[in-house]
Amino acid sequence: MSAHTPLDPAPGRRLGEFDLIARYFAPLAGPGAFCLGDDAAVLTPTPGWQMVFTTDAIISGIHFLADDPAADVAIKLLAVNLSDLAAMGAEGVGYLITTAWPRDLDEAWIAEFAQGLAEGQAAYSVALLGGDTVATGGPLSLSLTAIGELPSNSALRRKGARAGDRIYVSGRIGDAGAGLRILRDGLKGGAATDRRRAVERYRRPQPRLALGRSLRGLASACIDVSDGLVADLAHLAEQSAARMILQLDRVPVSPLASLIGGAACAIVSGDDYELLFAAAPGNEKQLFAAAREAEVAVTCIGEVVEGQGVEVFDRLGNAILVDRGGYRHF
């Protein structure tokens, strides 16, 4: 794990970059990482398996709130990347991380962040393999590359949904969107337990790795819901060259959905990190059995037909105009 830019001394922080790595991140290193003492890690692929790589970055004030607990930020960074592996049907192996620490960031924040990574590693059976540590004059910026593996030629793709398939989603949609509104905007209302759940879903998403693995050979196309249900369904539609029909009344939405504008708003809020997938009707029994085994609810919310794009209908068959498809960076 390298360190390019020296970290300037600041109140509350006396360690240099190599000291930070040795104290907080070397204990997280997995096999092949050489305790982060070398320039790179060395892994041996499992015979008959393929490697899967994904990377994602999160920035303070954009992807998480500046006052979010450091451990939660670490778990979110790890989880959003592992969610991409889950959408491919892969198993996690390890990860590399690049940290751009503001020069005035207190060392205690970094210590708590490392503790969060350790908690995430234990929960998802992955280990740190390396990365980079730099200083920045800008906002706290964190990037993580997750590495996974799966049996050869078994990867789930966004491309593959066919007319006649049914559309399914795991878990519940809109909790994270409500959680963000509670934290950022002081949103009121709802039961205390639902509010706590929504905040937790925003700060600590749960990658559906077990479900993703079980969907290999069952789902025809799959994606994780990060930018919003409608936006990510549009990605499936585009890559599969098909038309996706979404039945709004079937979507399992947050009990706080009414506070953020109803189900139509819940399906365009992001950060759910549930799996959204298509499968042939004949696979439904196996799908629901796999979901029970993974201890995740799965709901049929629509169907795939000939054509292009995404259409949303209410319970009476009326088309619903969705103002926006989901989060966009640009």
Q: What are the pLDDT digits (tens) for 203-216?
A: 999 999 999 999 99
Q: How confident is the model at residue 18 (pLDDT cuts 50, 70, 90)?
A: confident
- Residue 286, phi then psi, degrees to nearest 5: -65, -35
| Whether residue 9 has pLDDT greater than 60 | no
pLDDT digits 0-9 by tens, 306-329: 999 999 999 999 999 886 555 444
Region 151-163: what's the mean pLDDT? Answer: 97
pLDDT value at residue 325: 57
- Element of type H or E holding 144: strand 141-151
Q: In Å, how far are 51, 86, 100, 239, 300 from 278, measured between CA atoms?
A: 24, 15, 38, 12, 9
Choose among 171, 168, 187: nearest CA to 179.
187
Q: Tell which residue, 228, 240, 255, 208, has the closest CA to residue 312.
A: 228
The predicted model gives 28-41 an average pLDDT of 92
Q: What are phi and psi of 16, to 5 degrees?
A: -80, 175
CA 7 to chain centre: 30
1, two tokens: 């794990």
pLDDT tens readout for residues 159-171: 999 999 999 999 9
- Domain ranges for the chain: 2-151, 166-313
Section 21-30 average pLDDT:
92
Domain 2-151 in CATH 3.30.1330.10: yes
Single-letter residue type at 215: L
Q: Which residue has the higher pLDDT, 175 or 37?
A: 175
- Choose which CATH entry (3.90.650.10, 3.10.450.30, 3.30.70.240, 3.40.190.10) describes domain 166-313: 3.90.650.10
Q: What is the pLDDT of residue 10?
A: 47
Q: In sequence order, which ranges of the chain are alpha helices (DSSP H)?
A: 17-20, 70-88, 107-124, 175-185, 192-203, 209-214, 229-240, 263-266, 284-294
